[in-house]
Amino acid sequence: MKKSQVAAYYPIYLNICDRRCIVIGGGEVALRKVEILLEYGANVEVISPELDPELIELAKDNQIPTFVREYKEGDLEGAFVVIAATDSDEINRQVAGEARRRSILINVVDDAEYCDFIVPSVMRRGDITITVSTSGKSPALARKLRLQIEDQIGDEYIALTELIADVRTQIIKEGIKVSGASWQEALDLPALSKLLTEDGKEKAMAYLLASLKSKQR
């Protein structure tokens, strides 16, 4: 079932951990989709008459169940997310039709009109995730912008994220009320990064806690 023209996509982060996600297709594109789904903890199944060698290896390692055959109606029952990644528009759209009838989230690779969601270009640094999307109009531009952002956010942000999370937990535990604006003022990232590197986490936490307490409501 073809979807109406989308004005804009609503950004959302989806919890797929331990959820059944089905990929229809067995080529390189399907492999990339499977690897990403596994990275986020999904229970992935693959249906395709032919499989990329790396998908075969994943199956041998018991990381994914594979069904080496053509897709058929009813295969999607119980799925949370489905990705259609075959080289056949007809099969992809049949998959999309079943998914829509079953109210299952569907992504058809390179065919946004049949998608409930599209997958943005993703940058990860520990718990930091930044996504870039052009609403499906130019994946190449989304990737270019994502690479530019990657150059600005180094691995030091992984430790900074953990430090700030620990301080937030401490602030909540002590019942200190700090506004969002005060948090923004207190997050002197260059100073925190320098303290963390040169003096350690304890002193960096003390610096941030003192700054936040001085701004409490």
Q: Is residue 28 located within the same domain as residue 62?
A: yes
Stretch 19-31: mean pLDDT, rounded? 98
Alpha-carbon distance of 55 to 49, in angstroms, equals: 12
Stretch 45-69: mean pLDDT, rounded? 96
- Convert the pLDDT of each residue in 181-203 to its tens digit: 999 999 999 999 999 999 999 99
Full domain range(s) for residue 166: 156-213
Q: Is residue 9 located within the same domain as residue 78?
A: yes
- Convert the pLDDT of each residue in 99-113 to its tens digit: 999 999 999 998 888
Boundary-marking domain end, from 102, 119, 136: 119
In this structure, how many other beta carbons lie within 10 angstroms of the beta carbon of residue 171?
A: 18
Q: Is residue 134 located within the same domain as residue 200?
A: no
* DSSP 8-class letter at 111: -
Q: What's the confidence (pLDDT) of residue 8? A: 80
pLDDT grade, residue 5 (50/70/90)? low
Q: What's the confidence (pLDDT) of residue 3? A: 56
Q: Is residue 40 located within the same domain as residue 80?
A: yes
Q: What's the confidence (pLDDT) of residue 13? A: 93
Phi, psi of 209 (to 5 degrees): -60, -45
For residues 86 and 3, which has the higher predicted lDDT (pLDDT)?
A: 86
Alpha-carbon distance of 53 to 70, in angstroms, equals: 18
